[in-house]
Chain A
């Protein structure tokens, strides 16, 4: 069957044999967007986190049929080198990644958190950021999340000043 949705601002229609196919595999193998990672396939690690209508979703356990007509954002659509998302800028400033494999999932989860809680406390972070990083970059990530909140607030201020 054909499934249509928007991915990183572009409308996409894909043919899937089974509408229960996890969104992750459609994103990675059909649309060839490899930034969203496979770690466990059981919603247990968060490597596959992306945004569906702004909400963080573990795409390995999210049937593609639920995405019909929705707006999907992956790490490739979060920001660009010229216009990084505050989360990406903060990640660069704090030099967070080690192996890097878990990082897109964490950045997407953080972007979703900041949409809901623009200025998260440590407890907010502990409760909401529950992905796994084997390299143990949590210490820098926490700093980066606070920094991203600050950058995001600043950029919003700039935008509202301009308007």
Chain B
């Protein structure tokens, strides 16, 4: 897995304009970026490292910064904030390059009308990594422009000027940024801004508190669900409860006469109702009698049968040396992971306001650009006429990469001539999720007489993750031949093993599956690292040493070995069982970020209890170590929830359960009381953070259970055999 630096992006073309704001002059710094490398190379990088590049449209002006009359900076973020802390990281980067204090910088979601929205998505753990270079360059550019202008206004040479907290001083004079922007007709734009030295940074690298902390502690209305617009009505859309149901017809007579109903909207592909309140809309929705055509009424068993290695189409994604032959004497283990739900607490929702030939869409979305295009297309509007205003997301996890509800709300708003708010019920969330696909893995290996692997193979099957997604250009899957989401974490990381290969099988599922935080990583690492552990036991070797000796010597390999050593040392990793507790070890690389974990586990009343998890992560340069720790803690707990409890099943074509509780998730009592995070820095630029720590958790827990019980749990969620 080759690594490339982030310097492949640079400011290539930029324009600045000055615009009269309300009572003051605002500077709108407008910059555009393209990739220095051609698209092919960029795609290749994406495939190699499985990183999502920062991508924008290069033909439109974009607003990044505004200088306000209060001498604060508004930073329009092209990425959305869903808890991952991106707003805080980019505020730190911008504050440092702009020489302002943290409380002088305000981060807002860029609306699509500003032009500055990521045309791909927020996801893939690389918001900070991808913005590291371009954002700092833009901030430096603005700083230099302001310096030039202040020098002109004060008649002092630029090299005589210093900046502190947004005040430019020199020659006994000083001007705030706000004053500097006053009355400027034309800005001098430096050719290539000079970035500060990392050592000069005051905020980057520090555990700065989240910029959205107070809003979130005082309950400010910042989420999509909180949006209110004048005259707003409430919508609801009828959804089938069964997989593969297609809409035939609807009898809306009863619903039309229900209290509060404003209008029933019957389209070719959906029936919706608009009413004066959410409850009235929901009640009327229940009264609509829809005829669905049900294609089949499958059960979980059928899905498991489909999802079995050997079915579907295979692609070798990695290979070295020879393949194992049937007659070889090797160990083969099978692993499975179930259908997983996103279960983010804020339901999918939107407020759409369509007036004349334009629309405003306020929404929790990870795909601002796609939401915008879809709405424009359905309404037959010019894309420019649709302004998508992103809100804070009450959890993303990949669920908000799909926003057809924005289209439905827009259609309903147009039909009633008023803004319409519409969101999913929890049952709809569970039944119409874009699920984490179930997977099946066959892992094979053979040991030498000295107890080292001579062969290692990972064969796995998954439903769509990246394929069939609006995010992945349609031409890409055929070129790569594999689903770039499903294969995440599916590679062999023990490249000293002479013969290895990884083979991905693709099966089409009858229900929609997609990106679930960390994509294939959770299940792939569970399978691979469980197998490696079993082989270490078989070889009679220490689980840590067995790993270290078989990892290669590339840069990324060395980083992986370093996190492994650090985790083992910090956790005092031991193969012994102490006070009924055993340790389990696992490690993975995801999107260029290595992570190792040690889970301390005991069995209480035949239940798996995780007491402590030690996480060692090398995210490269840590822009905000505290938020990286928070992501590690969150990944450990979300991962623990997925591997110990969560599972959707299908009964007569119906996806179940439809509510929290029956869809069991980790609660406070299930979370480890100790999570110890160590951060290493194996490269000098920021790397991926928000997903990589989800890799090792499943195997780390399972490997501890193996030591406690002798039982190799090979199916998620991990369940101990019933005691009698």
Contact = CB atoms under 8 A, between A and B. Distances in A.
Interface of A: 17-18, 21, 25, 29, 32, 34-42, 44-45, 47, 74-76, 78-81, 84, 88, 91-92, 95-104, 107, 122, 125-127, 129-142
Interface in B423-477: 423, 425-426
Contacts of A136: 633-638, 641, 666, 671
Contact of A40 (B259, B278, B660, B675): B660
A51 B305 CA distance: 49
A32 B660 CA distance: 26
Interface string B192-206: 000000000000000
A147 B630 CA distance: 18
Contact of B345 (A45, A74, A96, A140): A45
A35 B219 contact: yes
Nearest to B634: A136
A127 B668 CA distance: 9
Contacts of A125: 668
Contact of B630 (A44, A79, A95, A133): A95
B220 A97 contact: no
Which interface residue of A18, A29, A131 has the most chain B CB atoms within 10 A? A29
Interface stretch (B176-184, B207-215, B485-493): B207-215
Given A42-B426, A132-B665, A136-B633, A101 B217 contact: no
Which interface residue of B84, B216, B217, B397 has the most chain A CB atoms within 10 A? B217
Contacts of B210: 95, 97
A50 B630 CA distance: 26
6 contacts: A91-B217, A95-B630, A100-B222, A103-B217, A136-B641, A137-B630
Interface residues on B, range: 35 or more
A86 B641 CA distance: 29
B344 A139 contact: no
Interface string B224-266: 0110100000000000000000000000000000011000000
Which interface residue of A38, A131, A141, A142 has the most chain B CB atoms within 10 A? A38
Contacts of B633: 136-137, 139-140
B262 to A, nearest CB: 15
Contact of B213 (A97, A132, A137): A97
B277 interface: yes
Nearest to A75: B219
B82 interface: yes
Contacts of A134: 342-345, 395, 397, 638, 665
A107 B395 CA distance: 18
Contacts of B226: 34
Given A88-B218, A137-B633, A142-B671, 9 more contacts: A34-B219, A42-B660, A44-B660, A45-B345, A97-B216, A103-B216, A134-B397, A138-B667, A139-B633
B577 interface: no
Contact of B394 (A36, A44, A99, A140): A99
B425 A100 contact: no
Interface in B392-444: 392-397, 423, 425-426
B616 to A, nearest CB: 17
Nearest to A100: B216
Interface string B662-675: 00011111011101
A104 B219 contact: yes
Contacts of A138: 637, 666-668, 671
A102 B666 CA distance: 14
B394 A132 contact: no
B223 interface: yes
A18 B225 CA distance: 23
Contacts of A84: 217
B193 to A, nearest CB: 32
Contacts of B217: 84, 88, 91-92, 96-97, 103, 107
A76 B209 contact: no
B510 interface: no
B661 A129 contact: no
B45 to A, nearest CB: 29
B189 interface: no
A35 to B, nearest CB: 3
Which interface residue of A42, A126, A136 has the most chain B CB atoms within 10 A? A136
A132 B417 CA distance: 38
Nearest to B209: A95
Contacts of A79: 218
B107 interface: no
Given A101-B223, A136-B636, A136-B671, A81 B346 contact: no
Contacts of B636: 136, 139
Contacts of B342: 134
Given A95-B210, A122-B673, A139-B675, A100 B659 contact: no
Contacts of A140: 630, 633
